[in-house]
Structure formats: structure tokens, C-alpha cells
């Protein structure tokens, strides 16, 4: 094994660890790990599948760290898990079966919209009467959440960068307010999306297993550490970080 390969493998490990940390807080970790796989020489479609395979265990470790917070939203879990599973499968089918150009056009606008939606969520909620200053999920908010989660999950199954931002934006408009609890629910839903897509990619033989398993170790460490750390940080800083990541993700997608 040459020194270049060793350096590349070390880079993949740390890229996955950083991606796991970012996903546990806001989402967008694929913008670190996916380009790392491309730089390592993996073609784009197998890189996407391998990235999904590597990151979902990290999301699962974050979900365990957020278990106590997730229980507070148990009445919302099932209505949002169902579209997450359906969308994850649909997105994976889209990736394998159709040209990506149409989806690439809308994705940057979608992520930017969700970021602005999250940044100005209070004004948006007052405008459409979707919720007050306290946490409250109306019937309209539940319908919005189901439909938007189905769309987000479809994108997540297709590529996945920025789904955390999209879900936080959607959850905020539904009427949720506590960023840590929203992160908990987002992490659980993101895990479901990626697991479904991962199973499909694995059955199609698209996963580069040796790289996926190596990156999984870094993603699990990063996901758990990130979730435990985020719960100790002031919500204002987390919100600012979420918005910053969202703007970066959307800018990267526009350029790409």
C-alpha cells in the first residue's frame, strides 16, 4: 500500500468523522465526505452510494445520544417516519433509473429556501398562523410536515447533502421551537432515509464496502460526539451555525 493511499484513507476517516459531527448538529456532512470519496478516485454514483452506507451509522449513533429528546415528540415520529422511508426508497430509484439534470436544477433553490425558512421562521409562522412563540403543531402543520418530509426524503435518497437543513426548516414551520429536540427528530428521520437508500444501493452492488466500513467508524465517532456536544451549546449559537451551514451548502450546490 503506497503512502498516497494511506494518506487518502486517513483523509476519508477524518472526512467521515467531521461529516458525522456536522450531521448531528445541522446536516450537510455529505459536502465533506462525498467530495473526499471523489478525490480518492471513486466514481460519482458509487461514491454517493458508499457515502450513504458510511454515514447512516453515524446518524444512528447521534439518534441514540438524542433518545431522551426524541421521546418528547413521540406523537410526531410515526407520521414523519413513513414519508421518510417512502421518500428514501423513491430517491434511490431516481438515482439509479433517471438522468440527474432535472433534480440538480431544483436542489440548490430548495436548500436555500429551507435555510431562509429556518432563519425567518418566526415571521413566516406569524404570516401564515402556523404557530406562536410556544411549541404547537397544528393540523395544517402536520400535513405540511408529511408532504415536505416526503419530498426531502426523496432528495435524501437521491443524494442527501443538506437534508438536515431542509428538515429543520420544515420542523420549524410545523411549529417546533427547541433546536435540540428538533435535531433529535431530524437525526432519527435522516437515519431512516439513509438506511432505506443504503439497502437499495447495497442490493444494486453500488457500495464500495472496504471504504464504507472504514468511513463508518469515523462517522459513528463524529456523530455521537457531535450530538453530545451540541446539547451543551446555547441554542442561539446552534441556530446561527445551522443558518451558516445552510448558506454554504446552497452556495456549493449552485456552483456544482
**pLDDT-based confidence at 125, cuts 50/70/90?**
low
Residue 202 and residue 34: Cα distance in Å, rounded? 17
| pLDDT at residue 219 tops 90 | yes
Residue 158, number of CB atoms within 10 A of its CB: 24
Residue 204: band (very low, low, confident or very high) from pLDDT cuts 50, 70, 90: very high
| pLDDT for res 206 | 92
- Mean of the per-residue pLDDT values for the chain? 83
How high is the pLDDT of residue 161? 73
Q: Which of 41-55, 157-171, 230-244 has the lowest mean pLDDT?
A: 230-244
Residue 78's CB is within 10 A of a number of other CB atoms, namely 8
- 132 has a pLDDT exceeding 50: no
**Position 189 confidence tier, pLDDT thresholds 50, 70, 90:** very high
Name the nearest CA neighbour of 158 among 102, 197, 208, 191: 197
pLDDT single digits (tens) 75-117? 888 889 999 999 999 999 998 887 767 767 777 887 787 778 7
Locate the domains of the chain by residue range: 3-255
- Exposure on the CB side of residue 66, measured as CA atoms within 13 A: 33
In this structure, the number of other CB atoms found within 10 A of the CB of residue 45 comes to 14
Q: Do residues 29 and 252 lie in contact, with contact meaning Cβ atoms separated by under 8 Å?
A: no
The better pLDDT of the pair 3, 136 is held by 3
Tell me which range, 123-137, 157-171, 191-205, 219-233, is most confidently predicted by mean pLDDT.
191-205
| Ranges of H-type helices in the chain | 3-25, 30-40, 44-65, 67-70, 74-97, 101-119, 121-128, 139-158, 163-174, 179-203, 209-230, 235-255
Amino acid at each position: 500500500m503506497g503512502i498516497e493511499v494511506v494518506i487518502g484513507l486517513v483523509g476519508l476517516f477524518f472526512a467521515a468523522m467531521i461529516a458525522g459531527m456536522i450531521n448531528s448538529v445541522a446536516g450537510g456532512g455529505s459536502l465533506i465526505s462525498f467530495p473526499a470519496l471523489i478525490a480518492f478516485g471513486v466514481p460519482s454514483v458509487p461514491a454517493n452510494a458508499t457515502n450513504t452506507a458510511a454515514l447512516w451509522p453515524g446518524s444512528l449513533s447521534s439518534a441514540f445520544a438524542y433518545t431522551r429528546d426524541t421521546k418528547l415528540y413521540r406523537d410526531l415520529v410515526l407520521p414523519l417516519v413513513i414519508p421518510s422511508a417512502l421518500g428514501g426508497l423513491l430517491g434511490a430509484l431516481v438515482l439509479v433509473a433517471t438522468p440527474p439534470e432535472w433534480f440538480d436544477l431544483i436542489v440548490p433553490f430548495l436548500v436555500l429556501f429551507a435555510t431562509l425558512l429556518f432563519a425567518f421562521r418566526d415571521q413566516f409562522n406569524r404570516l401564515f398562523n402556523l404557530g406562536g412563540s410556544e411549541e404547537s403543531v397544528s393540523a395544517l402543520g402536520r400535513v405540511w410536515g408529511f408532504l415536505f418530509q416526503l419530498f426531502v426524503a426523496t432528495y435524501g435518497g437521491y443524494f442527501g447533502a443538506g437534508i438536515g437543513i431542509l428538515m429543520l426548516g420544515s420542523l420549524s414551520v410545523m411549529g417546533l421551537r427547541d433546536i435540540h429536540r428538533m435535531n433529535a427528530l431530524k437525526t432519527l428521520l435522516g437515519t431512516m432515509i439513509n438506511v432505506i437508500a443504503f439497502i437499495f444501493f447495497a442490493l444494486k452492488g453500488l457500495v464500495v464496502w472496504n471504504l464504507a466500513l472504514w468511513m463508518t467508524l469515523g462517522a459513528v465517532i463524529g456523530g455521537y460526539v457531535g450530538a453530545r456536544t451540541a446539547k451543551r451549546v446555547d441554542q442561539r449559537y446552534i441556530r446561527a451555525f445551522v443558518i451558516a451551514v445552510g448558506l454554504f451548502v446552497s452556495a456549493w450546490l449552485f456552483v456544482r
